[in-house]
Chains A and B, each alone.
Chain A
Amino acid sequence: DAGITQSPRHKVTETGTPVTLRCHQTENHRYMYWYRQDPGHGLRLIHYSYGVKDTDKGEVSDGYSVSRSKTEDFLLTLESATSSQTSVYFCAISGTELGDYGYTFGSGTRLTVV
């Protein structure tokens, strides 16, 4: 395994509650990404990080925030969960920002907002 784990693997939460998803890596990679996967849309970038405390928005960042206080951990927070945020969330890591490198993905977190 590439040393990337996501927790929890499954979560059901109620509308309006805060939710935090965790991505942990043991590869000491600088770049970390959060994606959501929805049928018919493939994967869409939510936020990414290029170092400790360095983060930026992706194409679907509304309603999400992130934090990275350590190289190995990248947290995704839904401040007030909505049903439209029901999705499968994937974390990915990369050792370089170069576009030809590709990603290593975690196994995903399936989030259901009821």
Chain B
Amino acid sequence: AQSVTQLGSHVSVSEGALVLLRCNYSSSVPPYLFWYVQYPNQGLQLLLKYTSAATLVKGINGFEAEFKKSETSFHLTKPSAHMSDAAEYFCAVSLFNNNDMRFGAGTRLTVKP
């Protein structure tokens, strides 16, 4: 069965610094990969998704992620952190249909002034 592992349950960066949130996947077939963001007391919001059209995917709020098959990774990056980026981020993988969707445990991002 497919799965994702998010490395680091908490990441702290300074405002203006690079944001790097790590996600590795396990899948027997080419997967679909997603990043979601959750702000306090809210539901999850789709940031971006990889569906095999392009390995570098751009999402909302300046985030992007690169699919690397050789490393089975789909890390999320943003060149310059903003205070408003503080949230919890979830990586997710699905295969043929949405009923197969599996989520990582989440990474909480803190942005220091």
Contact = CB atoms under 8 A, between A and B. Distances in A.
Most chain A CB within 10 A, of B36, B51, B95, B98, is at B98
B54 to A, nearest CB: 13
Interface string B63-96: 0000000000000000000000000001000111
Interface string B11-36: 00000000000000000000010101
Given A40-B9, A103-B46, A107-B42, A97 B104 contact: no
B90 A97 contact: no
A45 B99 CA distance: 8
* Chain A interface bracket (under 10, 10 to 19, 20 to 34, 35 or more): 20 to 34
B105 A40 contact: yes
Nearest to A99: B94
Interface residues of B, number: 26
Most chain B CB within 10 A, of A41, A44, A45, A103, is at A103
A104 B44 CA distance: 8
A42 B34 CA distance: 14
Contacts of B9: 40
Interface string A91-114: 010101111111111111000000
A20 B9 CA distance: 32
A48 B105 contact: no
A110 to B, nearest CB: 9
Given A99-B98, A99-B100, A101-B98, A41 B44 contact: no
19 contacts: A42-B90, A42-B103, A42-B105, A92-B44, A94-B98, A97-B99, A98-B97, A99-B94, A99-B101, A100-B49, A100-B51, A100-B94, A102-B46, A102-B98, A103-B44, A105-B36, A105-B43, A107-B42, A107-B43
